[in-house]
Amino acid sequence: MEQKEAKNEENLVKKTCRELGITQKELAEYFGVTPKAVSNWATQKHKLPTNFYFLIDLIKTQRKYNSLMNAINNH
């Protein structure tokens, strides 16, 4: 079960970067952690901290909001 959980974490880090069009280094800047920490989460060397799931959702929501506001302002 723990292996499956780690696989999901790896996918979440990489999926988040892909969806947002950012690098792992940029994701580290959003989180206020080192790029090495994000790399360790992506390669399953360390477990993704629970509170970072919330931060990922927050970043995605912020991006959607900014995109929506830009679309509204451009019309």
Residue 37 · residue 28 · CB < 8 Å: yes
Name the residue ranges covered by the structural domains of the chain.
2-73
Report the alpha-carbon distance of residue 46 to residue 71 in Å, rounded: 39
- On whether the CB atoms of residues 27 and 36 are closer than 8 A, the answer is no
Percent over 90 (pLDDT), the chain: 79
pLDDT value of position 44: 86
- Distance between CA atoms of 15 and 12, rounded to whole angstroms? 5
Split at pLDDT 50, 70, 90, the class of 1 is: very low
Contact indicator for 17, 27 with CB cutoff of 8 Å: yes
CB 59 within 8 A of CB 53: no
Q: Which CATH number fits domain 2-73: 3.40.50.300, 3.40.50.2300, 1.20.120.430, 1.10.260.40?
A: 1.10.260.40
> pTM here?
0.72
- Read off the pLDDT of each residue in 59-68 and give the average, rounded to a whole number: 92
